[in-house]
Amino acid sequence: MKQQWIAGCAALLMVGLISGGSARSHADADDPDCKGLPSAGDLKALLQQAPISGGNAGGLFGGTKMWAAVVNRNGEACAYATSTNDQSQVWPGSQSIAKAKAYTANAFSLDSLALSTAQLYTFTQPGHSLWGLNQSQPFNPDALGQNGGKHMVNGGIITFGGGVPIYKNGKIIGGLGVSGDTACADHEIAKRVRDLAGLNPPGGAHVDDISYSSADGANAFTHPACLNTYRNGIFIGTENAAVGY
């Protein structure tokens, strides 16, 4: 009787081990591939370093109050963080924007074409060829919150500065989104974070840089200047004043 009881317990234990192992393997298979991408801790450190790397970042806060998010090539959220230890000291609305910028930059870039969200601005204005793109893939509100959106495709399309694709060995591996200041300062910080992380596209850190009509002439990739706009440490100008109201 005792031997039968021991044998029964052993059988149950083996079933549990097999089932547990199977569950773990299935969970591992469902996890997104985030290898080679910055972790939340990496993002925080890079965000804190970026404002003091490369001169004045401009904007309202000099790029010091930021959310950042990273997605893999499948668009799945791998990491997100704030530059401050207290998340309440970064605009709450910037969390979804950073995640959507990361998704957008990855969604519309290739190995052969690095396209920042800043470069999409003019294309998506009324009368231009991509008008309506912003409404094509809504952001999933379940991706909000301190632990929201991890391993999810958060979606959302943002077509102003702050999102850049990220690369390794010449291949696109995902997207990085930054939000918490003006769109122009967001782009500066995103560009610096990518450069500090060693994840630039094949053409270099500036191949998908933001373009301003006041500095570069009007073109299809033009982005308007923001308040206190700097690019690569050089003052560009400021947003036009309101007229007629």
Q: Which residues contact 68 (CB under 8 A, 6 or more apart)?
A: 43, 46, 47, 80, 81, 82, 83, 98, 176, 177, 178, 190, 193
Residues 150-189 have pLDDT tens digits of 888 999 999 999 999 999 999 999 999 999 999 999 999 9
Cβ atoms 208, 110 nearer than 8 A: no
CA–CA dist 231, 121 (Å, integer): 17
CATH topology of domain 40-237: Beta-Lactamase (3.30.450)
With cut-offs at 50, 70 and 90, classify the pLDDT of residue 1: very low
**Beta strand residue intervals within the chain, DSSP E:** 67-72, 77-82, 163-168, 171-179, 229-231, 234-237
pLDDT band at 26 (very low <50, low <70, confident <90, very high): very low
Give the C-alpha separation, 62 to 101, whole Å.
19
Rounded to an integer, what distance in angstroms lies between the CA atom of residue 13 and that of residue 31?
27
3-state secondary structure of 58: coil
Q: How confident is the model at residue 24 (pLDDT cuts 50, 70, 90)?
A: very low
Beta carbons within 10 angstroms of residue 139's beta carbon: 18
Mean pLDDT, residues 182-210 taken together? 98
Percent of the chain residues topping a pLDDT of 70:
87
Determine the pLDDT at residue 73.
97
Provide the pLDDT for residue 68: 98
More confident residue, 133 or 3: 133
Q: How confident is the model at residue 149 (pLDDT cuts 50, 70, 90)?
A: confident
User: Measured at the alpha carbon of residue 243, what is the angle toward residues 223 and 131, in degrees to the nearest 5?
Assistant: 40
22 or 230: which leads in pLDDT: 230
> How do the domains of the chain map onto residue ranges?
1-30, 40-237
Give the chain's mean pLDDT: 88
Token pair listed for 14: 């083996």
d(CA 74, CA 69): 14
What pLDDT score does 129 carry?
95
pLDDT of residue 114: 98
pLDDT tens, position by position, 61-98: 999 999 999 999 999 999 999 999 999 999 999 999 99
pTM, full prediction: 0.86
What's the pLDDT at 47? 98
Q: How confident is the model at residue 31 (pLDDT cuts 50, 70, 90)?
A: low
